Structures are given as C-alpha cells and as structure tokens.
Chain A
Amino acid sequence: MNNILSIHSIRFFILVFLQVIIFNHINFLGNINPYPYILFLALFPVKNNRTAIIGLSFVLGLCIDFFLDTGGTHAAACLFIAYIRPVILKFCFGTIYEHQTIKFETVEFGSKLTYFTLLTVIHHFVLFSLEIFNISKIILVLQKTLFSGIFTILMCLLITIIFTRKTK
C-alpha cells in the first residue's frame, strides 16, 4: 500500500513538471501541444475509492491551471474524466474490470488504445470548449481537440510503453 502511494505521488509531481517545462513548449506546427499529464488519472488504481480520485483530479488540474494561467479549465476537464472513468473502464475492458483484477501493464494493446483515446478526447473537448468559451467557435474547439488529442494519445502510449516493467 505504501509503495503504491509513493509511486503515485512521485508520478503526480513528475507529470506536472514535465507538462509545464517540456510539453507546453513543443508548439508543433505552430500551436499544437500534448497534455499527457492525464496519464496520472488514466493509470490511477481501479480499486481505490472514487472520492480519492475526484479530489486528486481537482488538485492536479488546479496545479496545471496555476502554471498556465488558464483559470479553472484544466481542473474542470480533469474532474469530468475522473468522474466518468468507471463507465469508460467498463466499456473498454468489460469483464476484467467487473472482477477488479485490472492491471494496466498486462491488458492488451487494443483496449488500452480505446481507453486512452476516449479519456483524451473527452478531456480535450471539455478543456478547449471551456478555454474558448464561445459556442460560435465550435469548429475551432473540435479542430484543437482533434490535433491535440492525436498528439496526446501518441505521447501517452509512448510513455506507457517505455516505462513498463518487462513481465516474463
């Protein structure tokens, strides 16, 4: 239990700092940045109670907001995916999730991809619609969601592949 706690708190700080220092200055093709800090919420243990993940998602989003001067947009987007995560988990992993034996290192690639894609698209859509805050610019919101989303999914997959322990 203690081990899990330390791993996740270290992951929290590392992801926030990487987001602020590196990922926000990539500016691919002018204005596309990935937001892979949502990996913290994606890889949060399934067993833990939902109150904890909702509280932590708020803190995580607020940390990013402080650094990026974005008001409360990241906090709102993080809260939203933290709240609907069980639904997405059930949809992507089906019976493994029902039996509470899910381990993100061992699940097959396809379902992991669906899981990340759903989380990222929902997060980015909430984020950009709150950031732009203008219903007449919905095309811009969707465009940003698409481009940033692809980038984020790629980064998330790369990070999880690189930092997974080899299991024999």
Chain B
Amino acid sequence: MQQIVNFIIRNKTFLLFLLLFSISIFFTVQSHSYHKSKFINSANFLTGGVYNSINNISEYFHLKSQNEILAKENNRLKAILYNSQTKRNTSYIDSVTFNALYKFRTAQVIKNSYNATNNVLLVNRGIKDHIKQDFGVITDKGILGIVDQTSKNYATVLSVLNSKSNISAQLKNSNHFGTLKWDGKSHVYTQLIDIAKNAILKKGDTIITSGRSSIFPKGVLVGTINDFKLDPSENSYIINIKLFNDMANIEHVYIIENVNLPEIKKLLNE
C-alpha cells in the first residue's frame, strides 16, 4: 500500500497529464461523431453571449451588403409571385393547413467558420424559439447545414463544410442521388459521392437536395458541377460541386422544421 502511494506521489505529474490527456482525447473523439458533442460546444450562455455581443458590433459593417442580398431575394420572390400563371389560393380555411409540411424561421449567424476541418456555425435562435436538433438551415442562395446542439438562446449548426455532415443530394435533371461529403480543402467546393455510374453528368449541371433525408424539402439548391471523376472502385462518380453560397459571407439564414419529422423517424425506427 505504501509503495502504491509512493508511486503515485513520485509520478503525480505524469499521472495528472495522462488523466487530463485522456479526457481531452475523449472529448475529441466525441466531437468527431455525429450529434455527440454535448459538453463542448459554443451554444452555452457564456460563449454564445460573447459571440452575440461581438456580432452586435460587427454586423453594422456588413449592413449594406446584407441589405442588398435581402433586396435581391425579395425581388426574385416577387417575380415568382406575380408571374405565376395559376392563381394561388392565398386564403386558408383554418390554421391547420397553413404552413402544413415545412415551417420556416429566420435566424442570424453570430459566429461563422469556414477554414477548419469541422466547421460549426452559431445562430441566435434556441430552444426558446422551438429550434431542435436535426432542423435544416438554408440561406436565400442554397443549403447551409443542419442544427446540431441547442441551448436556451443559441444553436450550433453543422455546416456542409463539416466532415461529419452527410446530406442527401441529387441531380436536378435526373433522379440519381448521392451524399454530400466535404474533403476539407476549399470552402468554395464540396463533394458529392456515390452517384451511380450510369448517370449522365455535364459540367455546370445543378445539384439540389433530394428530400430523402426528410430534413430538407426536395429542391433546395446546393451548387453546380465543377468537375467529376470515377472513384477508385470505378462503380460511382465523385463530383466536385461549386457551392452557390459564399460560405465566408453569411448573415441571414432560415431554419426549416419538417413538421412530420417525428412521425417519419418513428416509422423508420420500427
């Protein structure tokens, strides 16, 4: 017994190092698996609060360009609205049919990162605004990511530039689908893997979300094909996609809630 105590006292630095090092490796491994980084995330009140107050100042510098982006989007939506041939039924019989399948909520990005290997964004909406895990996040130009962890006022978003996120996407002109996976190199491009070999690809083709994951509705824009090659097993294509979004300049986003998500999840788990 005496010897064990002596051993611990003699090697206390090394043992402390070993203990803390294994704790940090544990956190690291947890952060590399999907939806597991419960303790270490920036959605807590301290880090969220700090980022919020920094953003309160820095958002003024981007006010003009963000206004232009929003005005452009309004312009596009107005054009769709007034040019549509069929008269849309704008009166709803009751509130049950309104916003039936997908609910949209606006949010503001208060921390953006695009240069790390696993990029996580922070938005200023949380449990208080009924944001939950696995809600989709888009901008006016296209897809952005999936909600990961939430706190009372903030939520973290796994961006498409994250090696953890797997989002189902497809070609716009055919129904060949694959998975979006980022290779960690450039924030302008992302990769679409597992596209069947017989798909007809052309440079500049549009990629949209497939709606299979039930997080995003079908047809959210992702990007255009930049180049493509067969994977090493020669069974499927790996496509390099140029994203529509400028990941470095993002401020106003929309969070999508699929109202039927719990039902779909329950059905799939049975």
Chain A residues close to B by CB (< 8 Å) = 20-21, 24, 27, 30-33, 50-51, 54-55, 58, 61-62, 65-73, 75-76, 79-80, 82-83, 130-133, 137, 140
Contact across chains for B28 and A72 when beta carbons are under 8 A apart: yes
B40 touches A66 (CB 8 A): yes
Q: Could you say which residues of chain A place their CB within 8 Å of the CB of B24?
A: 58, 61-62, 72-73, 75-76, 79
Inter-subunit contact A50/B13 (CB<8 Å): yes
Is B20 on the interface with A (CB-CB < 8 A)? yes
B28 touches A33 (CB 8 A): no
Say whether A71 contacts B27, CB under 8 Å.
yes
Interchain CB contact under 8 A, B115 and A30: yes
Residues of B within 8 A of A (CB): 12-14, 16-17, 20-21, 23-32, 37, 40-42, 44, 46-47, 50-51, 54, 113-118, 120, 122, 156, 184-187, 248
Contacting residue for B117 out of A54, A83, A131, CB 8 A? A131
CA distance in complex: A32, B115 (Å): 8
Contact A79 B42 (CB under 8 A): no
Contacts of A137 in B (CB 8 A): 184
Per the bound structure, the CA–CA distance linking A51 and B187 in Å amounts to: 41
Docked pose: A137 CA to B30 CA in angstroms? 20
Q: Which residues of A contact B28 (CB under 8 A)?
A: 71-73, 76, 130, 133
Q: How far is the CA of A83 from the CA of B40 in the complex (A)?
A: 23
- B259 to nearest A CB, angstroms? 29
Closest to B120 in A: A69
Residues of B within 8 A of A131 (CB): 116-118
State A24–B47 Cα separation when bound (angstroms). Answer: 15
Assess whether A65 is in contact with B12, with CB atoms less than 8 Å apart.
no
Q: How far is the CB of A76 from chain B (nearest CB, A)?
A: 4
Q: Are B37 and A69 in contact (CB under 8 A)?
A: yes
Chain B residue at smallest Cβ distance from A17: B50
Chain A min CB distance to B10 (Å): 13
| CA gap between A105 and B4 in the complex, in Å | 42
Minimum Cβ distance to chain B for residue A26 (Å): 10
4 extra interchain contacts, Cβ-Cβ under 8 A, other than A67-B47, A70-B40?
Answer: A67-B51, A72-B28, A75-B27, A140-B184
Q: Which of B20, B29, B44, B248 contacts A58 (CB 8 A)?
A: B20
CA of A40 to CA of B116, assembled, Å: 23
Q: Given A72-B25, A75-B27, does the pair A54, B42 have CB atoms closer than 8 Å? A: no
**Contact of A62 with B40 in the complex, beta carbons under 8 Å:** yes
Q: Would you call A71 and B40 a contact (CB within 8 A)? A: yes
Q: Closest approach, in angstroms, between the C-beta of A51 and any C-beta of chain B?
A: 6
Bound together, the chains give a CA A60 to CA B37 distance in angstroms of 19
Bound complex: CA A75 to CA B46 (Å):
18
Q: Establish whether residues A30 and B42, one from each chain, have CB atoms under 8 Å apart when the complex forms.
A: no
Residue among A21, A30, A71 making CB contact with B37, cutoff 8 Å: A71
Whether B27 lies near A69 (C-beta < 8 A) is no
Write out the residue numbers on chain A whose beta carbons fall within 8 Å of the beta carbon of B41.
66, 69
B116 / chain A contacts, CB cutoff of 8 Å = 68, 70, 131
A72 near B31 (CB under 8 angstroms)?
Answer: yes
> Which residues of A are found within 8 Å of B47, using beta-carbon distances?
66-67
Nearest-neighbor residue (CB-CB) of A63 within chain B:
B47
> Residue among B24, B25, B156 with the most chain A CB within 10 A?
B24
**Which of B16, B46, B115, B185 sits near A51, CB closer than 8 Å?**
B16
Smallest CB gap from A65: residue in B: B40
Question: Considering the complex of A and B, which 6 residue pairs feature the smallest CB-CB distances, nearest first?
Answer: A71-B31, A72-B27, A31-B115, A72-B24, A69-B120, A75-B24
In the complex, A32→B114 CA distance in Å?
11
Contact in complex: B54, A76 (CB < 8 Å) = no
